[in-house]
Each structure stands twice: as C-alpha cells, then as structure tokens.
Amino acid sequence: MKITDIHIYGYGKLTDFSLTDIQSLQVIYGENEAGKSTIMSFIHSILFGFPTKIQSDLRYEPKEGAKYGGRLTATFPDKGNAVIERVKGKASGDVSVLLEDGTRGGEELLSELLHHIDKSMFQSIFSFNIHGLQNVNQVKGEDLGRYLFSAGSLGTDKLVTAEMVLQKELESRFKPNGKKPTLNVKLKELKQLHYELKKAEQQNEQYFTLLCEKEKLEKDIERLHQDLMYSQKELSRIKEWQELSPFMSEEQKLKKEREQYAEVSFPAKGMAVLEKIENLMDPLKGRKASLEARISGIEIDLKKNQPDYEILRSEPLIHAALEGLPLLDKLKQEESELSIKIGNLSEEILNLQERLHFQIEESQLKQIDTSVFMKDKINHAQKRQNSLHTKKQELDERFNEEKSDLEAIEQKIAELKKQLLTEAERSAIKAELNRSADRHMLEKEWQDTQDRLLFLQKAEEKERKNKEEKRYQEKRQLLVFGILFAALFGWGLWSQTWILAFAGLFGTAFCVFMAIKKQPQTNAGFIQEEIKALAKKESLLLEKLKQPDNQFASNLEAKLQRDSQLQNQLRHYHFQLEQSTEKYEKVITAFEKWEKESADLEEELLHFGRQLLLPADISKAHLGEAFGLIEQLKSLFREKKYATERKVAAEKAKNERLHILHQLKGLLDDEPGNVQEIAYQLKKKLKEEMENHIKLCEREAKLNELKVEYSTVLAELNHYEKEYEEQLALAGTETADEYRKKALAAEKLADLDEQIKQITKQINMYTFSQEEIDRYSNLNAPEIAIQARTEEINKLQGKIPSLQSELAEVKYELHLLEEGGTYAELLHKFVLLKAEFEEEAREWAKYAAAKDILEKTISTFKNERMPKMLKQAEEFLSSLTKGNYVRIFPKEEGSGFLIESRTGAVFEAKELSQATAEQIYVSFRLALALTIYGKYPFPIIIDDSFVNFDHLRTERMISLLRNLPGRQVLFFTCHKHLLPYFQEEQIQSVSKEKLSVQL
Amino acid sequence: MKKVTFIHAADLHLDSPMAGLKHLPSAIFKVLQESTFTAFTTIVDAAIFHAVDFVILAGDLFDGEDRSIRAQTRFRKEMQRLAEKGIPVFAVHGNHDHMEGQWVHMPMPQNVHVFSHEVEVFKHTAENGTSVHLYGFSYPKRHVVERMIDQYTRKNGADLHIGILHGQFEGNSDHDQYAPFRLKDLLGKDFDYWALGHIHKRESLNQQPPIIYPGNIQGRNRKETGAKGCYLVELGSSSAKLEFMEASAVLWNEEQIDASNAKSYHDLYVLCKRMLEDKRQNRKGTILNLVLNNVSLPDHEMKGIITGELLESLQEDETEEEPFVWISNLTVNENRMWDKEKLAHESDFFSELFKTADQFAEDSGCTLALYAHPLARRYLGNLSEGEKHKIAGEAEELLVNLLYKNH
C-alpha cells in the first residue's frame, strides 16, 4: 500500500490542505506546531476511524467549523488505486471507499483492504517515534513476543487474555491438590460414595445369614410360646383344684349322714296335703250352722207381713184421677176467661155498628163480599177519584195563563201599528239619500287636480335651475378660450405673424359671440300652459263643492232603518198571536173531557156502595173507609162465636173429672172432705200397699237361695272327710299325730339330698376328669406347686420380648436389603454422580486441551518466527553500526535482549550509548515490520527520530530507509539539517512555501 | 392349528442406575429409579392379560455387579404373580447377570426355568396341546466369546422349536463380541423362532422365521431413546404374528430445534417451551436431550443460555408437571461467525493454531492431567481417539471464540 495523495478538508488546525504526489520515501518537514502530528493523526484517522470521545486520543475536530475529515488516495498492490474518504458522521466518522474498478464500499471494504488490522496494531508495528527509541532498554522479550503474534484480526492483548481466561476456567474446575474446585469436590464426594457403596454391598452378603437367623428366632419364639401356654394352663388347673377340694370333703360328710334315713317312706308332700284338707273342712262347717239359723228367721217374717190386694187392683184408676187434678183447675180458669172475652167482643161490635151508623144483622154481614178482589176494586176507584180532582186544578191554572198571554200580545200589536211610517213618507226619504252620494266623487277629483298642479310647478322650477348652470359653464369655457385666442393674437402682432394674429382674433371674436348669444326658450311654455289649465279646473270643482250641502242625510238614513225594524217586529207579534190562540183552544177541550170522566167515576162508586149495603151518601164520599169497618166487624163476629164454643167444651170436661173422684172416695177408710184431701189420702194408701208387696217378694227369693246353698255345703263336707281318711291310710298311720312325726323324718331326708345335689353341681362346674381328680388328690401342698409354676411362667415371659425384638431387627434388616434401601439408593446416586463427574471432566478436558494447543502454538510461533526476525534485526543493526554490532539474542532468563559486538563482547541495551540503543530499536522495528508483518504492505511512519545520530549514522539510516524494498516510508521531521540527505522531490513542507534543498 | 402365544423380552437390567442426569428433582429421580421395575411389571401384566402360554426372558435380567437384592426380590415377586396364573417363564442369564457373580442367588418359584451354562432343551406343552422345545444356555462367566450357536441342535419330538440366545450378531461392532453368530447360522438350525437378547436396540433380523432382538424394556441413558418394551408373539408352525408392546415407564428422547429464527432469548425460550408441551402429549415422563441448532443471538442475549439460565427456567416447573418432560442436556450450536479456511489464510497464527489442534489427539497423552490423576482415574474411562479428536475440535472452537471475536 502506498499513499499517494492526502486532502484534508478540515482536521485540527489544517483546513483544505493537500499533499500530492507522495513518494515511496517521503519526508514531511515542518517547524514546531506546523501540523506534522496532525497529518500523522489524520492518516490514522482516515484509515481506522476518528478517535471516539471515550478514547484518549485527540479528536482534532476543526475549531473554525470547517468540514471535519478528508480524503486519502492510496495504491494497493492487489486492488490498484483507491480513494478513501472519511467525513463526520457516526462516532468514528462515515467512510466511503472508491476502488479503481468502480467498486464502492464502506468500513467493511476498507477493513478488507487493510487486512483487518486494527489501529493499535498498526501503530505498534508500523509507526514509531522518539519515545519508543528512547525507551529501547525497557523493551522486553514478552513485548516482542506479543508483537510476534499480533497479526491480522488477532488483537494484541487477546492472547494474554485468552490464556488467563483458560487458566481461570481450568482452576475453577480442577487443581491436582485443590479442595474447592468443582471437580475436586465431586471427586471427594464420589470417593466417599464409592466407599459407602462397597460397604452396603457387603451387607448384601449377610442376607442369607439373616434369613437363617430369622427362621431360628421364629422357631424359638414358637417353642417358648407353647411352653408358656402349658404352664399357664397347669397353674390355673392347680388353682382351681385348690378351690374345689373343700367341696369334695363336704360331699363325703353329707353322704354319710344320709345313710341314717335310708328306710323312711312317706308320700311326697303328704303333710301339706293333709293340712290343706283340714283347712278346707273348717270353714265349711261354720257356714253350715249359719245357714240353718238364717232360713228359720226368714220363714217367720213371711208369715207376719201380708199386703191389701184391693187397693193394689184399683191402682190404675187412682193414678188417672190423680193426674186429672191439675187439668181440672185449668178448665175452671179457662171457663171464666172465655166469659170475659165474650163480653168484650159484644161491646166492640156495638161500637163499630155505631161508627157505621147503621144497624146490620150478623146474617147480612156474612153475605157482604169482603174479598181481596173487592178491596182492590174499591181502592182503584178511590185513586181515580183523587187523580181527577188533581187534574181539575191543573186545568184551571192553564186556562188562566193562556188567557192573559193572549191579551198581552194583542195589546202590543196595537202599539206597533201606531208607530209605523206611512208609505209616502218612506219614498220621500229615499230620494233625499240618492243625492248625497254624488258629492263624494267631486271631492276626489278636486284633490287629484291639486296634486298634479303641485307636481308641474316643481318640474318647472328644476328645469330652470339646470339651464342656468349650463349657461354658466359655457361662459367660463368661452372666457378661457377667449383669453387664449387673445394671447395668440397678441403674439401674432408682436411676432408679426399675421396668420396667427388673424386666427387669434377670429377665435376671440367667436368666443365673445358665443358668450353673448341668448339661450333659446323651449319646453318651459308647455308646462306653464298645463298649469294654467289645471288651475282653472280646480276653481271649477271648488265651486261645485261649495253648493248647499244636505246636513240631514245621515238622519234620514237612520229613520228609514228604524222603520223597517219596526215592520219586522210587527210581523213577529202576529205570528205569536196565532200560536197563543191555538193553545187556548186546547185547554177548553181538556175541560170537557174531565167532566165526562168525573161522571163515570161517580156511577161506579154508587154501584160499589149498593154491593156493600151502604147508603148512597156514604158510598160516594167514604167508600174505602166504610169497607174497612165492615171488614173489621165481620172478623169480630167470627171471634165471638169461637169463644162461646170453647167455653161450653171446658164446662163439660170439668164435670167428668169430678165424678170419678167421688167414686174412688169409697175406698178410703176415714171420710175425707174436699177433693184435694181425697186425692192425697188415695195416693198415700196406694204407696204403702205397693211397698208391702215388694218386700214379700224379696223375702221369698232369699229363702230359696239359702236352701240351695245349704245342700251344697253338705255335699262338699262329705267329700273332704272321705279324703282325710284316705290320706291317713296312705302313710300307714292311724292318727294324725303319728302322721305328723313321720312327715318330719321325710323332710330331713329331702334336705340332705338337696345339699348333696348342690355340692355335686359345683364340683361338676370345675370339669375335672376322674383321672385328674385322682392325680390332684395326691397333691399334698398345692401352694408350693403354684409358686413353682408361677416362677416358671415369669421366666418364659421374660425371654419372649427380647427374642421378638431380635426378630424384628432381623426382619427390618432383611426388608432393607430386599427393598434395596441404602444399597440401591447409593448405587443410583453413585452412578449419577459418576456420570456427572465424567461429563464435567470432559468439559475440563476441553479447556485443558485449549490451553495446551494455545501454548504449543505460541511456542512454535516463537521458536520459528523469532529467530527469523532477530536475524533481520541483526542485519539492520550491523549495517547501521557499520558492523560494530553483529548479534541480538534474547536473554536466557528474565526479559530483554543481549547485543554482541563485533569483538564478541556482550552488552545489555542499557549499557550502550543512547544512539546505539536507538539504532537497535529501529532495527527491531523495521525487522518486525519486514519479516513477521511482511504480508502487510503498510507504509512505515516515523516521527522525528534519529536526532541523536551523528551525520554518519544519519546517512546510513537514511540509506537504509531508502533501500527498503516495496515499502513506503513517511518521515516526519522538524529538523532542517536532515533535509539535505534527501532529494528535493522527496521533501514536502507543511508551511506555506516548499523549502528548497540546502546542502 | 398348532400354535402358542408367548412374550419375548430381554435385557431387563432391573434396578439399573440411570446415568447422565444432573440436578434431578427427587420426584423425577424416584420415578426413574423405579422405571425398570415399572416396565417389567407392565410386561407381566400384559402376560397375564393376554394369558400367554409362557414368557421368554433372553438374558441380562439384572444389571451385573449392581444386582441388588431389591432387584431379585422384586423379580421373584413378579415371577410369583405369573406362577399364580400358571404361566411358566424360560430365562437365560446374559453377560451382565452371569452365573459366576458374587451375588446372592435367590430361590425362584417353580414356574421359572433357568437354562444352565450349557445349551439344553426344555419341553413345554401348552394347554391346547401344542408342544414346544425351547433351547438356550446361561452365561457361566462374564465373557463368553465362543460361538455358542454351534451347540444348538434341533431335537425332534415337538411341534415348535424356539431358540433363546443372548449374544452378538456379527457385523454389529457397537458391543463386545459375546457369543457371536451369523444370520445363516440361525437359519440353518431350522427353528421356528429365535428369541435374542443383548442388543438394546429393537431389531428384527429376519421375518420368517422371526429372529428378533426386542431391545431392552426401559431406556437407561440418553443413547437409549424411543419406546421400549417386549414382543407378544403368536407362533404357529408356518406363521408368526408379532406385536410390539411398549412397556417403558419413562421415555428418553433427543430433540433438535432449529433456532435460526429466534431473535432473542425470549424467542428461544418460547420455542423450547412449545416443544416441551408437544412432548408432553406422549403421556409418559420424558427425559429429553435438547439440541439447539443455528443459534445466532447477540452476546448479551446469549449470556442467559451460557450461564444455564435457559436450562434452569425450562426445568423449573417440571417437578410439578404430570407427565414431566425433563431436559437433561441442552446443547447449543451457535452459528459459526468465522470460517476456518479464511482465518488460516489470513493469519499465520491461526493456521499454526489449527495445525496444532489437529495434532492434539495424537500427542496429548500427558496434558490431560485429570485423566491421569490417581483417584480420578478410577472413575474416568480412558479417552478414546475419537473422543480426543472431539475434544480438540471443541477446544479449537473455544480458542477461536476467545481470540477472534472482537467484542
């Protein structure tokens, strides 16, 4: 790559600055602050981007607002010429690249052109300055090493970083003797787990031992259980025996006692049977005696009391007479009451007959029709009579009304006729009215004429004014022209131009003439004539109007109107009169009709009166009332007849009752007085006899009863006596005493039997077999046997729990082994962890391999490249020092280099002179750029170095630079004395003028 | 028609520990720990349900040195269940549960017939009168590399002949060569069915007569993916009807997700979550090995994935889920930002680096200190050449990521 042109648009202090035709070896000279550093920075910035704000480098943004950026033209060996332009844009600027073949591109294309090298790399390899030279003795082997690997897209610090990262990763995973790294931790866990697993595995082998143990234990426990059960049974048996033995001896005793009574024979329950029979016989004997006494008592009573049978036979008659007594009283009372009532009724009948004012027989009365039908007819006739009466009153009123109306209307008509106008008067008034209508027309015409007159007068006025105005204007114009023409004339005279003078004179004259000329009078005459005609017409009309005016025209009209109204009214009253007359006629007709109806009614009433046997006057006026009284009378008669009948019946019944009573009186012993007494005596006597009769019957029944009972008692007594005898015979005894003794002996025997039975029952409850009984009978001291057994049981019981817990343990262990418990758990865990460990180990291996590969690569690189570079550096150094120093080699230990002189002496860099050290540095740098970075054809940029060189060394240095093959060198300097070493075209100055070469 | 029905299972590996699971919640761990038993119980249930004539177990009933007493007692319990139904069991021991082991041998019920260490024949007559000759042998020791197939000889006197063989089909190099055989060896015996065991992947070597590896009954690590179980066989003299019955209690699965469309951490999370819910439709607990391909997220979004946050949040709720879908492993394959060829061309250093990495597998004996560590070595297998290559590749990628990436 060779830079050929630079064009700075604006960068730092440089604005629109160009360097053209840059040579392969180009010196750029400038005094201090001329802008050399700026140009260098510019080249870097164009190629690698403007420094961003976060970077420490200066941005060189122009202060005066010129366009930031610029353009650089360079030739690339494979791509030809390329123009690279970078201007302000995003942080590092916007770049555009234009290749020779027209290809355009941005950062990517540029990066490709620059072989992906970055700025820091570029600076560290291809660009160096005085500070680097002066610090040459601090250059370390590692630094060089680093330069060795910094190539292409590989950044300078990347290797170190990468190595560190790998180391860290490895160490975090595994250290051969570490404890913390994950793999170490896992390994430890794994080891522990493995150990535990092995242990668990061994337990598996115990499985069968455990199985045998289990079986044995189970058998032992079984046996113990059996022993225990036997002992327990035995113990309880002995205890039972202990309880049983007293019963056994008791039994023996009882059996012995029984033997005494062995021969006693006695009927079963004989004593009880005997006593029972005796008990039954005693009360029977008592009863027999009492019955006999009672029978004789009753027989005596019967003979004493016999009743009176006659009275008893007439019992019904007496009862009837007694019951009739209250009725008798009642009949007497009724009789007297009815007599009073009949008297009252007779009086009332008389009263009514008086009111009717005529005598009437009862037989006649019965024939009179007082049916409801008759009553209805009479009521109806009465009502009609009433309504006819009312109707007559109404008709009287109407008649009076109609009559007065008629009279009023007739009077009014007479009045109106007086007021009306005659026909002649009416026609006169009408003629007068026609005349007053014409006058209105005249008034209107006069008004019109006046209006027109006024209008014409105004028009005339206006016309006149217009004309005056016009004339005034014309006059002014003429005056102006006149003056002009006068002037013209004057001029003509003065200048002796006659034509002009004449023209002016003529014009003036014309103007004067025009001004003087009168205005013709035209249409004003016509208007005035018109006015005159109108004035005349007006006066004519006025005169007409002034003719005498009829002032009463309106009065007349009113009069006429009133008259026609009156006529209308009159017509109306005539109509009313007709109507009234008609109504009056109608009332009179109604009167006639009423009279006829009245006569009919009277006839009818008389007819009813005859039927009721009433005199005519009563039937005409009070028919209804009379009918009511007759009706009442009729009912009274009927009532009186009924009362008389009842009185007769009551008398008859009373007499019958009295007769019976007197008949019964004969039965009584003593002579009673009145009826009441007789009745009482009868009643008393009857009651006594009845009671006597009842008592007699009762006694007879009782006697029979007692007799029957007596015979029963006798029979029973016989039966028991027989049984008693039998019982005694059965026991083989003669007497009751003997019998009783024998009974006592039998009782004792039964008692013994019962006791023996009880004991045997209790003995049987213990279910001891005969064999056992024999066995235990020999046992002398059961207490001792019990104690021995109890001890044995305790011993056995103590053994079982321990065996059982042992068995449980064995079972649990077996279960654990069968379920896999710890072993399977551990196994699964172990395998998992192992797999995990393997995987992580693989991961570790990746990092380890990476580190290994990196280290190997670096070492290969070092071992192969370094010598090549050092050889080149030695050549340069030798050439620069004219063969004084011939070899450079890295120190065996530590950092830095050693330099060998021609004589074979070996120096460190710091032991050499400043200039020599600088030469070594330059040699290194150039060697580095040319060998390791030979692939990258970038220009070498040197900033003001070689100041410490003397002229010989300078010359050599420059010749070295000049002879670098295929490599552009840009040399910036501020030292004028260096310039002569170069050709003129190789020097460009940054200041305004190009400096000439001065030798 | 002479025929029998039977169940053919192999490689029960009862109580086999599960490998390759980190931070498993105890609830899921329990399910997993029980899974081999659950699967076997399922098979026994099926045998009872279908009222089969007998059950064949073709070796590796237990998991070798790790044969726990629990495994045996549980096995015996299942055998007793079959005994109650009068179903005989014909079993051989394989390389894992060979007869030489130190373990406790438990007495088995009468219905269990275990073949001895030499090939022998059992005769079984089914209820319908069909008689069957069953041939087999048990491993007397762990390594039986003889061609045991040569000792199998057809013995006349039965309607059907079934060979039981726990061994290696030649040509399959994944396993050690135990009792190897070739297909034509088996066909030459003129048997009606070959009940094989040893290979954990289900495989049918031949249709007629059927030669079957039923695979193991429950996946035990992430390589043993998919449904596992046994075969229900209805075998006649000229026909065979085979039906695979799934038995595994927990499924192992691998799932690849193309994450090239995910623009953020959240997108990726949602993508994974959706996949989890899809998997849950299996109605079985699932252990999932999840691979995210073509992940290209900005670095700050990637952070959550690298630190394991994504995995944790995906695992978070699974303890409560029924059935669970547990992601045991999350592999993230990022879109490579760099091209090896280009990089090597651009930089001498990288070309040197790649060269070194390629050689790593050959000469890295001493660098992996952990694998030489006296204690660690006991728990780590030796790295094979292939594994070393793989490690080198991963290391190389790691290095480039460290060195090349600018940010």
* CATH classification of the domain holding B19: 3.60.21.10
Contact A154 B349 (CB under 8 A): yes
Q: Which of B196, B225, B248 is the last residue before a domain boundary?
A: B248
Give yes or no for A823 touching B (CB within 8 A). yes
pLDDT given for residue B120 in this prediction: 92
Q: Is the pLDDT of residue B230 over 90?
A: yes
Confidence of residue B9 (pLDDT cuts 50, 70, 90): very high
Angle between helices B385-404 and A158-173 (to 10 degrees): 130
So what's the pLDDT on residue B90?
A: 94
pLDDT score recorded for residue B161: 93
- Tell me whether A819 touches chain B (CB under 8 Å): yes
Contact list in A for residue B364 (CB cut-off 8 A) is 849, 852
Which residues are CB-neighbours of A995 under 8 A, at least 6 positions away?
A29, A976, A979, A987, A989
Specify the DSSP class assigned to residue B255: E
Domains of chain B: total: 3
- B65 and B110 both lie in a single domain: yes
Q: What is the DSSP letter of B18?
A: P
pLDDT of residue B55: 94
Q: Are residues B181 and B98 part of one domain?
A: yes
Q: What is the pTM of this model?
A: 0.47
Mean pLDDT within A265-273: 76
Question: B19–A832: do the CB atoms touch at under 8 Å?
Answer: yes
The secondary structure of A794-843 as a DSSP string is HHHHHHHHHHHHHHHHHHHHHHHHHH-HHHHHHHHHHHHHHHHHHHHHHH
Report the chain A residue with the minimal C-alpha distance to residue B102: A205
What pLDDT does A999 receive? 35
pLDDT > 60? residue A970: yes
Residue with tokens 């003669």: A734
* Dist. CA A728–CA B32, nearest whole Å: 108
A834 and B CB contact within 8 Å: yes
How far apart CA A67 and CA B340 sit, in angstroms, is 42
Name, of A258-262, A668-672, B239-243, the range with top average pLDDT. B239-243
Confidence of residue A151 (pLDDT cuts 50, 70, 90): very low
Tens of pLDDT, residue by residue over A820-840, are 667 777 888 888 888 888 888
d(CA B75, CA B41): 9
Instruction: Give every CB contact of residue A778 below 8 A, 6+ residues apart in sequence.
Output: none
Distance CA A634, CA A931 (A): 184
The answer on B180 and B315 residing in a single domain is no
Contact status of A115 with chain B (Cβ, < 8 Å):
yes
User: Are B300 and B383 found together in one domain?
Assistant: no
Same domain, B315 and B377: no
Compute the distance between CA of residue A308 and CA of residue A531 in angstroms, rounded to an integer.
Answer: 182
Please report the pLDDT score of residue B131 as a whole number: 92
Specify the 3-state DSSP secondary structure of B181. Answer: strand
For residue range A598-616, list pLDDT tens digits in order: 888 888 888 887 777 777 7
What pLDDT score does A993 carry?
42
B331 and B354 co-located in one domain? no
B367 touches chain A (CB under 8 A): yes
What is the pLDDT of chain A when averaged over all its residues?
Answer: 80
Domain encompassing residue B344: 338-407
Report the residue of A857, A860, A864 to disrupt the B interface, i.e. the one with the largest count of B CBs within 10 Å.
Answer: A857
> Which B positions 20-39 lie with beta carbon below 8 A of chain A?
20-22, 24, 29, 33
Three-class HEC string of A244-262: HHHHHHHHHHHHHHHHHHC
Distance between CA B4 and CA B133 in Å, rounded?
A: 12
More confident residue, A53 or B183: B183
Going by pLDDT thresholds of 50, 70 and 90, the confidence category of residue A116 is confident
- Cβ proximity of A643 and A656 under 8 Å: no
Instruction: Calculate the dihedral angle through the C-alpha atoms of B390, B393, B394, B397, rounding to the nearest 10 degrees.
Output: -170
Q: Are residues B286 and B378 in the same domain?
A: no
* Residue B367 confidence (pLDDT): 62
DSSP character string of A383-445: HHHHHHHHHHHHHHHHHHHHHHHHHHHHHHHHHHHHHPPPHHHHHHHHHHHHHHHHHHHHHHH
pLDDT of residue A136: 57
Task: Please tell me the least confidently modeled range out of A279-288, A670-679, A683-692, A797-806.
Answer: A670-679
Instruction: Report the sign of the C-alpha dihedral through residues A499, A504, A505, A507, in that order.
Output: positive
Q: A115 vs B346: CB contact, 8 Å cut-off?
A: yes
Q: How many CA atoms lie within 13 A of B130 on its CB side?
A: 20
Partner-chain contact B381 A838, CB within 8 Å: yes
Plot region of A74 (φ>0 → left; ψ -120 to 50 → alpha; else → beta): beta
Residues B310 and B381 in one domain: no
Backbone angles phi, psi at A634, to 5 degrees: -60, -45
Going across the sheet that includes A987-989, the strands are A127-129, A940-943, A969-973, A25-29, A987-989
The predicted-structure confidence for A466-504, as pLDDT tens digits, reads as follows: 888 888 888 888 888 888 888 888 888 888 778 888 888
Q: What pLDDT shows up at residue A339?
A: 86
Q: Average pLDDT, whole number, for chain B? A: 84
Biggest CA–CA distance in chain A, Å, is 244
Q: Are B231 and B242 in contact (CB under 8 A)?
A: yes
Confidence of residue A922 (pLDDT cuts 50, 70, 90): confident
Question: pLDDT band for position B389 (50/70/90)?
Answer: confident
Burial classification of residue A778, based on how many CB atoms lie within 10 Å of its CB (0-12 exposed, 13-18 middle, 19 or more buried): exposed
Q: What pLDDT does A976 receive? A: 83
- Do B104 and B159 have their domain in common? yes
Query: How many Å apart are CA A961 and CA A969, to the nearest integer?
Result: 7
Q: For residue A596, what are its two tokens?
A: 């006829």
Q: What would the two tokens of residue A953 be?
A: 């060394």
Q: Has residue A117 got a pLDDT over 90?
A: no
**How do residues A778-792 score in pLDDT, each as one tens digit?**
777 778 888 888 888
The shortest C-alpha distance from A871 to chain B (Å) reads: 19
| Terminal CA-CA length for chain B | 78
Total Cβ atoms within 10 A of residue A308: 13
Lowest mean pLDDT among A572-581, A837-846, B345-354: B345-354
- Who has greater pLDDT, A375 or B211? B211
A618 or B3: which carries more pLDDT confidence? B3
A707: Cβ–Cβ under 8 A, 6 or more apart, which residues?
A295
Disruptive mutation site among A164, A197, A831 for chain B (greatest number of B CBs within 10 Å): A831
Alpha carbons B138 and B97: distance in angstroms, whole number: 9
Q: Report the alpha-carbon distance of residue B120 to residue B135 in Å, rounded.
A: 6
pLDDT given at position A837: 84
The share of chain A scoring above pLDDT 90, in percent, equals: 2
Asked which of B222, B248, B274 is the last residue of a domain, the reply is B248
Q: Nearest residue on chain A to B76, judged by CA atoms?
A: A818
The band of A299, judged by pLDDT with boundaries at 50, 70 and 90, is: confident
pLDDT digits (tens, 9 = 90+) for A305-364: 766 777 777 778 778 777 877 887 888 888 888 888 888 888 888 888 787 776 667 777
CA distance B325 to B323: 7
Q: CA-to-CA distance for B58 and B35, rounded, in angstroms?
A: 19
A 135-164 residues with CB < 8 A to B: 149, 151-155, 158-159, 161-162
Same domain, B349 and B296: no
Confidence of residue A141 (pLDDT cuts 50, 70, 90): low
Percent of chain A with pLDDT over 70: 91
- The position carrying tokens 């150039």 is A926
Report whether A942 contacts A978 (CB < 8 A): no
The mean per-residue pLDDT over the stretch A233-251 comes to 82
Confidence of residue B197 (pLDDT cuts 50, 70, 90): very high
Q: Which helix (H) or strand (E) holds A639?
A: helix A623-664
Summarize pLDDT for A374-424 with one digit per residue, the tens. Answer: 888 888 888 888 888 888 888 888 888 888 888 888 888 888 888 777 777
A526-530, A697-701, A981-985: segment of lowest average pLDDT:
A526-530
Alpha-carbon span B229 to B224, nearest angstrom = 12
Q: Kindly indicate the confidence band of residue A563, based on its pLDDT and cuts at 50, 70 and 90.
A: confident
Give the C-alpha separation, B59 to B10, whole Å: 6
For chain A, what's the residue count? 999
Calculate mean pLDDT across residues B290-318. Answer: 81
pLDDT band at A521 (very low <50, low <70, confident <90, very high): low
- Choose one of B301, B335, B369: the last residue of a domain: B335
B27 and B142: one domain?
A: yes
Would you call A906 helix, strand, or coil by DSSP?
strand
Kindly report the CATH number assigned to the domain that includes residue B274: 3.40.50
Q: Alpha-carbon distance B66 to A828, whole Å?
A: 10
Which is nearest to B13 in space by CA: B79, B65, B48? Answer: B65
Residues of chain A with Cβ-Cβ distance to B33 below 8 Å are: 824, 828
Q: Please check whether residues B221 and B238 belong to one and the same domain.
A: yes
Please tell me the distance from the alpha carbon of residue A621 to that of residue A619, in angstroms, as a whole number: 6
Lowest average pLDDT, out of A301-310, A624-633, B316-325, goes to A301-310
Q: How confident is the model at residue B51 (pLDDT cuts 50, 70, 90)?
A: very high
pLDDT at A215 (0 to 100): 87
